[in-house]
Amino acid sequence: MNALKILFVSPEVDPFVKVGGLADMAGSLPKGLAALGHDVRVVCPYYGLARERPGWTALEETLGVDVGPRALWARTWRTTLPGSRVPVYLIEHDAFFARGGVYDGPWGPHGDNDLRFAFLCRAALALCQQLRWIPDVAHGHDWTTGLLPVLLNTTLRATELGRVASVFTIHNLEHQGYANPRVLDFARIPRSEFRPDSVESFGSVNMMKAGLYHSTKLTTVSPTYAREIRTPEGGWGLDPVLRFRGGDLIGILNGIDTTVWNPATDRLLAARYDEGDLRGKALCKAALREETGLAADADAPVFGVVSRLASQKGLDLLAAALPRVMEEMRVQFVILGTGDAGLQDAFSGLAARHRGRLAARIGYSNELSHRIQAGSDFFVMPSRAEPCGLTQMYAMNYGTPPIVRATGGLADTVEQYAEGKGLGTGFLFGEASARALYYTIGWACSTFYDRPADLAALRANGMRKDFSWNRSAERYEEVYRWAVEARRRA
Ligand code: ADP
Ligand code: GLC
């Protein structure tokens, strides 16, 4: 089979810039595709202010980007994804990108997010023209890249880019990118697209909807989420569009980067371990307790949380369940997260009340996130909705059975524990309530104290599972070929 040329455009790419799991996905799937022999190139904004980095080179030619009344200019930095030869092009244009947060500033979302990401889409395509590298497929992710397929279908249809097929991946339908129609003029997309069966929604441009209408094929990050978003309960108002395009939409589970998330090689840990020898995991638990100020209570299980503190993640259920859990059970908790101010306060308050038993680290720390995965006995993720979720897969690979609500990718990746049978990889519950979470934490706790053989089996089952990109990269390859074929016939 011939190799494909794949343009991969994302607002976040690990390790260059990361807000959530999209960065992990965008930093790892391209490596999986390259391993299959494809020519994949990643484009992402350059948000930093520091210029040169080791191994980065600036392209000699300035990039002219056809937006607004006159073209704007950008500089392009080229580097590679670590551990691979996959090129990454970082687009530097300070007026749009050189600022603190990727999406948000201190007062909420940046007011010009529509223009910033329209610029990214237009720049990615201009770069292809400049490099004289015309991809077979342009693959965008979430609302920030929603205008990419619109440009291919309209403004650029008559150019050499007009035959490029598009694939659009939904990582989270909750954020849709509502914008003033001025963004169309800025991107030089005809105003005739401002209609409900294209980019318009309630008098605004909906950039997510634009991607859903215009892309040749659609994917989302788990089969269960692919079903959920077709229903009014899970569709965030776009379920009619997703039903309309249902035949072009499939769910493909994310993989994880096992060169980064592997307890046998992870240099961020106090000790390394694998399925055959868990002594290192015990050392990681002791080190985690010391680092976070938890008492060295040899018997108690440690429950870990690493999460954005957003309503999607269901951590209000945990905050509500914890007072009773802490009172009735001999357990310890370590919580790492940042986001919603109310939740930050709730967890800090609980930590103050349960010193030595409950530690809350409000903030972002990649290092601590690895150490929590390794040093905990259980990983708690009670999401209300979870398109895929990566942290539960990291947890299972680190021998830390997750406690999750059965939704989206959590339902697809975690297998329910069957008591006394040594089956399963974690604990699932259905009802989004503090009560259901409380009982499930209790179930995990009693497994820790009363059924150590079962717990050992759960750990081993999770560690044996293959969550790497091997399978899913092949599924994306199929979708790309399917899209190329459909574009050719269009
Ligand atoms: P989402 O993308 O919805 O946040 P995922 O589970 O797909 O959820 O991915 C979250 C990613 O962000 C994981 O790599 C996780 O380790 C990381 N992460 C989330 N919060 C923090 C934090 N406070 N500190 C460090 N890493 C975090
Ligand atoms: C989104 C989703 C998360 C998913 C990630 C990567 O941030 O919330 O469930 O794992 O994208 O696809």
DSSP structural state of residue 256: -
Q: How many CB atoms lie within 10 A of CB 129?
A: 16
Using alpha carbons only, what angle is made at residue 10 by residues 4 and 12, rounded to the nearest 5 degrees?
Answer: 135
Using the CB atoms, write b or e for 88-112: b if 16+ within 10 Å: bbbbbbeebbeeeebbeeeeeebee
Task: Record the pTM.
Answer: 0.96
pLDDT of residue 51: 62
d(C-alpha 84, C-alpha 100), whole Å: 28
Distance 307 CA to ligand 1 centre (A): 5
- Beta strand pairing status for 302-309 and 332-339? parallel
CA neighbor of 167 nearest in space, from 9, 402, 395: 9
Give the per-residue pLDDT at 54.
77
Mean per-residue pLDDT over the chain, rounded = 96
CB of 392 closer than 6 angstroms to any ligand 1 atom: no
- Report pLDDT for 52: 65
The four Cα atoms 365, 368, 370, 372 give a dihedral, to 10 degrees, of -130
Residue 10 has pLDDT above 70, yes or no: yes
Say how many Å lie between the first and final Cα of the chain, rounded: 22
Please compute the mean of the pLDDT values over residues 138-156 and round it to a whole number: 98
Per mean pLDDT, which range of 1-5, 34-38, 368-372 is the poorest? Answer: 1-5
Question: For a pLDDT cut of 90, what percent of the chain falls above it?
Answer: 95
Residue whose CA is at the smallest distance from ligand 2 atom 1: 171
Q: Is the pLDDT of residue 146 over 70?
A: yes
**Average pLDDT score over residue span 101-107:** 90
- Residues lining ligand 2, CB < 6 A? 20-22, 25, 171-172, 221, 254, 386-390, 409
Structure confidence at residue 46 (pLDDT): 94
Partners of 7 in the beta sheet?
Answer: 41, 138
Distance 451 CA to ligand 2 centre (A): 33
Reply yes or no on whether the pLDDT at 203 is more than 90.
yes
Lowest mean pLDDT among 47-56, 110-119, 213-222, 268-277: 47-56
* CB distance 175 to ligand 1 below 6 Å: no
**Which domains are present in the chain?**
5-255+470-489 (3.40.50.2000), 279-466 (3.40.50.2000)
Q: Give the per-residue pLDDT at 487.
A: 98
Query: pLDDT by residue (tens digit) across 216-250?
Result: 999 999 999 999 999 999 999 999 999 999 999 99
% of the chain surpassing 70 pLDDT:
99
pLDDT band at residue 100 under the 50/70/90 scheme: confident
Has residue 275 got a pLDDT over 80?
yes
Verify whether ligand 1 is closer than 6 Å to residue 306 (CB atom). Answer: yes
Instruction: Please check the confidence at residue 48 and state whether its pLDDT lies above 90.
Output: no
**Residue 102: which of 144, 147, 148 has the closest Cα?**
144
pLDDT at 225: 98
CA distance 226 to 212: 13
Query: Is pLDDT at 49 greater than 80 in this prediction?
Result: no
Cβ 210 vs Cβ 184: under 8 Å: no
Residue 295's pLDDT is: 97
Range in 14-18, 30-34, 271-275 the model is least confident about: 14-18
For the stretch 312-364, pLDDT in tens is 999 999 999 999 999 999 999 999 999 999 999 999 999 999 999 999 999 99
Dihedral, CA of residue 224, residue 229, residue 230 and residue 235, to nearest 10: 160
